[in-house]
Structure 1
Amino acid sequence: MPRPTARVLALLEILQGGGTHTALELARRLDVDERTVRRYAEHLLDLDVPVESVRGRYGGYRLAPGFRMPPLMLTDEEALAVLLGLAAGRRAGLATTSREAAEAAAAKIRRVLPKALAARLDALFATTDFTASERETTTPETSVMLRLAEAAGQRRPAVIAYFDRGGRRSERTVHPYGIVAHSGRWYVTGPDSASGELRTFRLDRITQVRLAQGTFTVPDGFRPADVVRATLAGTPWRHQVAIAVRGTADEVHTRLPRGIATIEPDAGHGADWVLVRLRAQRLDWLPGVLAELGLPFLVHEPAELRDVISAWAHRVAGCATATTPQEATAATETPLRWAR
């Protein structure tokens, strides 16, 4: 979109917010001179947008009362980007609002699109399927997310009311270094006044946020997403798993599900090995993940994981060599002791 056109639309957006705006104020917000503001207002009049010029000391520009937006001025590509973003974000677990709110927003956009474009988009969504199932989400309060985003953007401390996973309520002051979306949940990470340490909090467990006085500085090179992944990988579970893998950290990272493990050098086996550490409540899902790596590995702990992998391999081998349904059924029904 040409820059002057973008500024004309920006002027319309400002005026839609209500009230009367002086030419000087509009010029500053649009980064133009007052003469250009008058020209932009004339462009809107040419488009049948009722811009009123108010004279006097408190004069300026405003929209006529009762004015409603014409059909949404989006190109085909822009409309598709907005609606597809709503759908894809919800399916990926990145939605920050309820399903009802997302569907209502999409419906409002469709209603103001030109009929031909709306029909094509409806056809696209009616005939589109997804290979990945929709991820379950936990939706934070909109006010919580927006207030934390304000605090993070302004580098101001935030006082939060928080419920931990045991249901205990506490109030603490956090320096919100960043907000992170991960596996269907939203998190904020930063130093916590209660412990003085770097902490990660789930946004859906925060009930209230208010900004506090003061400012803070985010350390150079700080990556909130890396901190959240490391924190979640270190959450206490029943099994502490350590596996040496022959490969680089980048190779292993790309072949493991995101966020389930931490990876560090494994000097004990040589420069071409890394040590993968993770926590798990159950072990029976790990053999398939390790097989997907396609890389040599050694199980350090727990010892029972070796039995789980052997049992899994036995079942898979039995199905691979079976030639009848009865043999395949017998292979999978063989009693096995799974570590849980």
Structure 2
Amino acid sequence: MFKMHTLLCAIFLILQLSPPMPVISSPSGARHYKSIFSFGDSLADTGNGPVIFERFSIFNRVTRPPYGSTFFGRPSGRDCDDRIIIDFIAENLGLPYVPATQVHNGSFHQGANFAVAAATTLDADFYHGRDIPGAPSMFPLNTSLGVQLEWFESMKPYLCRTGRECKEFFGSSLFFVGEFGVNDYHFSFQKKTVQEVRSFVPDIVATISMAIERLITKHAARSLVVPGVIPSGCSPPILTKFADGSPAAYDSKTGCLKAYNELGMHHNSLLQAELAKLQAKYRNVKIIYADYFGPVMDMVESPHKFG
């Protein structure tokens, strides 16, 4: 797992050095953000996972070195030994690192992070009803996107009091919604084929879309970043678990498992189409699709470019 998250650390650095994230559509003029609110899984978690896992006596290796050794000098609760993308975004906006809600006991007026490692998009009941235990110790936690939104809504009265005050406050905030989807798929692979899991994609994308619309209509969000999924077929956990695949299952150029990457591309395609619909519907809102798939594939296909 550390190898996987070392890979993710590299992804974050590549994203930091790459051109700006593509904007589907945005109002004219730059916007100054006063706070960041983040939802997601391990790619965005800044410390919630270890605290929540501990309550259920679940071992979490990110609480031990070498996690955190490169930048923080100690385990920081991140599934990485350096910073993650949300840290770089905060730095670029001149804001403090987005505090994990389960750890921080101060003010959240400059942002809050609700992301939890291993979080799924869909609620645990969806998987229990389909005989997908996935990681049995994880699903009882039910830290899904819907649950994280409920945490945010519980915090809202402490951030603003009137409708006008909330509109102004959240209108000047950046909402980071994801990455969501990878854990839904990876857990499902325990008992389902890639073709079977593909049928879950519309539900997952629809849930992400509903969460975005909820943030826009109920909470006056005006700027949202929505990442796609990474190419799972290139990830060490998937390559290890399905190492007995036939030669035809692998991309001859990259060594990645083709079917799992095609699932990710399908997810990202549906997600971008849904975001385009939302952008057309809410023209005064800035919706940014963040491409995680492309930078990883670039690193896999041309590793010499990155040292």
Ranked by relative contact order (alpha carbons within 8 Å, sequence separation 6 or more), the top structure is 2
Greater share of helix: 2
Q: What is the TM-score with the length of structure 2 in the denominator?
A: 0.22
Greater share of strand: 1
Q: What is the TM-score with the length of structure 1 in the denominator?
A: 0.21
